[in-house]
Amino acid sequence: MSMVETKTRILDAAEGLFARQGYLGTSLRQVTGEAGANLAAVHYHFGSKETLLQSVLERRLLPLGAEREAELNRLLVRMESGEVVEVETVLEAFIGPTMRLCESSARGAEFSLLVGRILADPGGPGQEMFAELVGPNIELLLRALQAVLPDLDSELLLWRVHFCLGAMSHSLCLGHLPGFQGLVPQSVDTQTVLGRLIPFLTSGLEAP
Partner DNA sequence: GGGCGATTAAAACAAACGTTTTAAAGACAT
Partner DNA sequence: ATGTCTTTAAAACGTTTGTTTTAATCGCCC
Question: Site residues (CB under 8 A) for a copy of itself?
Answer: 20-22, 24-25, 113, 116-117, 119-124, 127-128, 130-131, 135, 138-139, 155-156, 158-160, 162-171, 173-174, 176-187, 193, 196-197, 199-208
Calpha distance 139→147 (Å, rounded): 12
Q: How many CB atoms lie within 10 A of CB 46?
A: 20
- From 3-11, 119-127, 131-139, 158-166, span contacting DNA (CB under 7 A): 3-11
Contacted entry of DNA, a copy of itself, none for residue 106, CB cut-off 5 to 8 Å set by kind: none
Least distance from C-beta 11 to DNA, angstroms? 12
Spatial contact of 115 and 176, defined as CB atoms under 8 Å apart: no
82 binding partner (options a copy of itself, DNA, none; Cβ < 5 to 8 Å by kind): none
If contact means CB under 5 to 8 A according to the sort of partner, which of a copy of itself, DNA, none does residue 201 touch?
Answer: a copy of itself
Contact predicate 15/111, CB 8 Å: yes
Q: Which does 122 bind (CB under 5 to 8 A by kind): DNA, a copy of itself, none?
A: a copy of itself
Give yes or no for residue 21 binding DNA (CB under 7 A). no
Per-residue H/E/C for the chain: CCCCCHHHHHHHHHHHHHHHHCCCCCCHHHHHHHHCCCHHHHHHHCCCHHHHHHHHHHHHHHHHHHHHHHHHHHHHHHHHCCCCCCHHHHHHHHHHHHHHHHHHCHHHHHHHHHHHHHHCCCCCHHHHHHHHHHHHHHHHHHHHHHHHCCCCCHHHHHHHHHHHHHHHHHHHHHHHCHHHCCCCCCCCCHHHHHHHHHHHHHHHHCCC
Q: Give the nearest distance from C-beta 7 to DNA in angstroms.
A: 7
**Residue 28 is a binding residue for DNA (CB under 7 A):** yes
41: contact with DNA by CB under 7 A:
yes
Q: Tell me how far, at minimum, the Cβ of 90 lies from a copy of itself, in Å.
A: 16
80, interface contact from a copy of itself, DNA, none, CB < 5-8 Å by kind: none
- Which of 4, 44, 104, 203: binder of DNA (CB under 7 A)? 44
Question: What does the binding site for DNA look like in residue numbers (CB under 7 A)?
Answer: 1, 5-7, 26-30, 37-45, 48-50
